[in-house]
Amino acid sequence: MITKRVLADGSTRITFSVEDPRPVSVVGDFNGWDPMAHPLVRRSNGRRSVAVVLAPGTSVRFRYLADGGEYYDDPHADGMEPNTVGGSDCVVFAVATGPGGR
């Protein structure tokens, strides 16, 4: 699941959340596809989540990477785009804001 919240400076906080008992990371073009950069933290409700902040109007490509090397998609992504290895990546867009953060 993906949730978005616009911050006071106009940036967007994107929270990535999954129900998976295994360790999971979100990997994407925003973190060099590095599985150590954004591991999802296990919460008291059993979900795992992590948040990143994006500049207004930007987008990122991502996938989840579970322990054991399994990549998977988020059905709540804003879209899917083909990647360079014959598969596809999820895409999420930051909220575009106008002057004054509106």
Measured distance CA(99)–CA(79) in Å, rounded: 27
The stretch 44-65 carries a mean pLDDT of 95
In this model, does residue 98 exceed pLDDT 60?
no
**The pLDDT value given to residue 95:** 85
Short-list 74, 65, 39, 52, CA closest to 5: 52
Counting the structural domains of the chain, the total is 1
| Residue 83 DSSP class | -
Separation of alpha carbons 8 and 74, rounded Å: 27
Q: Which domain holds residue 67?
A: 2-101
Q: Is the pTM of this model over 0.85?
A: yes
- The CATH number given to whatever domain includes residue 53 is 2.60.40.10
